[in-house]
Chains A and B, each alone.
Chain A
Amino acid sequence: MALIDEIRQEAKRLLEEKRVDVIIGYRKGTLPLRSTPAFIRNSDEVEGLIFDPTCSNNLASFANRFEGKVGVIAKGCDARSLITLVVDRQIDKENLVIIGIPCPGVIDHRKVRHRLRGREVVDGLILEDKVVVKGRDLKEDFPISEVLSGSCQVCQYQTPPVYDLLIGYQIKKEGRPFEDLKEFKEKCPGERRNFFEEEFFRCIRCYACRQVCPACFCEYCIVDRTKPLWFGKTTDLSDTLMFHLIRAYHTAGRCVDCGACHRACPMGIDLRLLNKRLEEEVAERFGFQAGLDLERPVPLSAYKDEDTQEFIM
């Protein structure tokens, strides 16, 4: 049976057996090569579910907004985000069914646009490992790997490490989680500062990156506060940097590098680097990777006597 049929069948069964009140998955979007999150309550609607490399949202960011039992069709990264939400007590595990699926990786629309040099896509589809696009004066296909999201290129957990049900097969891959960092870390502080200043200078403070992120679950975000006003709501470089440092810091030990923030950013800002650096520090210093374990608290709400402190006088 094709993967998608299995997904629909499982969704239908869970709804009919009343194990869940809602299934969160994907359905076709209105624009070519886009999907949109689907919230399915009736078992006769499961035919609308899809799953392919256009399914790029991290669905965990919707899971804590429902009353009742929720079933989430989860790629590796969605499942890991769900686990961190359980650990952070944002979701009651009793009310959550993680339906794990093997993920082939998702496409980054910025890369598609770049590849087509701005020509407009009127119709597009995914055919096995190819993207096929059509438009006026445009009929082309190219391998998905050329437009794969940066996070997916280095992903270690395409199949969820923790799940309630697993559909399909287990993808095993050698991840290279910190590949992107290596070169960058070798630059001198001044060069890194210039890079980040140029990058974040473009930020328009739209907060799309915050909205899509399952790790940004605070009801009252520090950037919306006015008393105290920790930093200005301007696009002054200093205020913007403050926002991004805090965003990265608050998601430390929770970020699973799903890349949703980077894909959502209308300005194409490299948001992954800051997150990656913290992910690396958390892994090296505290031996922790987000979303692998239902029992272990996130590193910032725990400590060990023997934590390293070589940097303290």
Chain B
Amino acid sequence: MDSSHEIKDWQPKILAFLCNWCSYAGADLAGVSRTQYPPNIRVIRIPCSGRVDPMFILKALQQGFDGVLVSGCHPGDCHYISGNYYARRKFALIKALLEFIGVEEGRIQFSWVSAGEGEKFAEVVKKITTDIKELGPAKCLVKNRINPSGGL
């Protein structure tokens, strides 16, 4: 087993790409409503889920994140009309490819969270955190391991 996994209080580091118009606002709502969710995500705000080049996901894994979440507006709600539709196709392919080379199912997750869905945002973060805790630290693609005992 990976040595970092043995560290008693290992906590996964999860990178979340949240679109400005829906999911980021959803996360904000979760915050102001004081909805509790695990502190394992680090958020990068992006203009649109369509802005997420699969390269971002690969890079996050290479840099040592244990999981990646990408979240955008529900279909039909995209601020730029169709960004999330294009995104959906990209995500399907990169997910298939990563799982094919041995990245475990669950490390890379996607969600649609609207600005009014603070509760859902918290649920999504809970789910991905639980899933990744179960999987343990990332193994595939990792180049720079994030210090497992400390901050980022």
Task: Tell whether A and B belong to one assembly.
Answer: yes
Which A residues form the contact surface with B (CB < 8 A)? 185, 189-194, 196, 222, 230-232, 236, 238-239, 241-242, 245-246, 248-249, 252, 274, 277-278, 281-282, 285-286, 299-305, 307-309, 311-313
Report chain A residues within 8 Å CB of B40: none
Task: Judge whether B97 and A248 touch: CB under 8 Å.
Answer: yes
User: Bound state CA distance, A194 and B139, in angstroms?
Assistant: 11
- Within 8 Å by CB of B89, from A185, A230, A277, A300, lies A300
Please state if B98 and A307 are interface contacts (CB–CB under 8 Å).
no
* Closest chain B residue, CB of each to CB of A191: B102
Enumerate 28 A-B pairs (CB-CB under 8 Å) in ascending A order.
A189-B99, A189-B103, A190-B102, A192-B100, A193-B101, A193-B140, A196-B102, A231-B62, A238-B141, A239-B143, A245-B97, A249-B93, A277-B96, A277-B97, A282-B93, A299-B89, A300-B89, A301-B86, A302-B89, A303-B82, A303-B88, A305-B85, A307-B89, A311-B91, A311-B92, A312-B91, A313-B109, A313-B127
Docked-complex contact A278 and B55, CB < 8 angstroms: no
Sample of 14 further A-B pairs with CB below 8 A, known A242-B62, A277-B96: A185-B100, A192-B100, A193-B101, A194-B102, A196-B102, A231-B59, A236-B143, A239-B143, A241-B140, A246-B54, A278-B96, A281-B93, A300-B90, A305-B75
Which chain A positions have C-beta within 8 A of B21? none
Chain A interface secondary structure, helix, strand, loop or mixed?
A: helix
Nearest CB of A to B80, in Å: 13
B104 within 8 Å of A by Cβ? Answer: yes
Known: A312-B111, A313-B124. A241 touches B141 (CB 8 A): yes
Interface centre among B62, B88, B93, B103 (most CB of A within 10 A): B93
Q: What distance in Å separates the Cβ of A239 from its nearest Cβ neighbour in chain B?
A: 7
B112 within 8 A of A: yes
Whether A193 pairs with B97 at a CB distance below 8 angstroms is no
In this complex, the interface size class of chain B, counting residues with CB under 8 Å from chain A, is: 35 or more
- B142 within 8 Å of A (CB atoms): yes
Report Cα–Cα, A126/B82, bound state, in Å.
54
Partner of A241 from the list B101, B104, B109, B112 (CB cut-off 8 Å) is B101
For the complex formed, measure the closest distance between the CB of A122 and the CB atoms of chain B, giving whole angstroms: 41
Determine the residue in chain A with the shortest Cβ distance to B50: A303
Number of A-B contacts (CB under 8 A): 106
User: How distant is the Cα of A249 from the Cα of B92 in the complex, in angstroms?
Assistant: 11
**Do residues A196 and B89 form an inter-chain contact, with CB atoms below 8 A?**
no
The proximity string for B residues 50-93 relative to A, scoring 1 for CB distances below 8 Å and 0 otherwise, is: 00001100110010000000000001000000100110111111
**Beta-carbon contacts of B130-142 to A below 8 Å, as 1s and 0s?**
0000000001111
Partner of B96, one of A246, A281, A302: A281
Residues of A within 8 A of B143 (CB): 232, 236, 238-239
Task: List, in ascending order, chain A residues with CB within 8 A of B112's CB.
Answer: 312-313
Complex interface: chain A residues within 8 A of B75 (CB): 305, 309
Contact assessment for B88 and A309 in the assembled complex, using a CB-CB cutoff below 8 Å: yes
| Chain B residues near A302 (CB-CB < 8 A) | 89
Task: Please state if B92 and A242 are interface contacts (CB–CB under 8 Å).
Answer: no
Q: Which residues of A contact B104 (CB under 8 A)?
A: 189
Chain A residues near B97 (CB-CB < 8 A)? 245, 248-249, 274, 277-278, 281
The listed residue with most A CB atoms (<10 A of its CB), out of B92, B100, B105, B142, is B100
Question: Are the CB atoms of B110 and A300 closer together than 8 Å?
Answer: no
Residue B94 at the A interface, CB < 8 A? yes
Q: Which of A196, A281, A304 contacts B101 (CB 8 A)?
A: A196
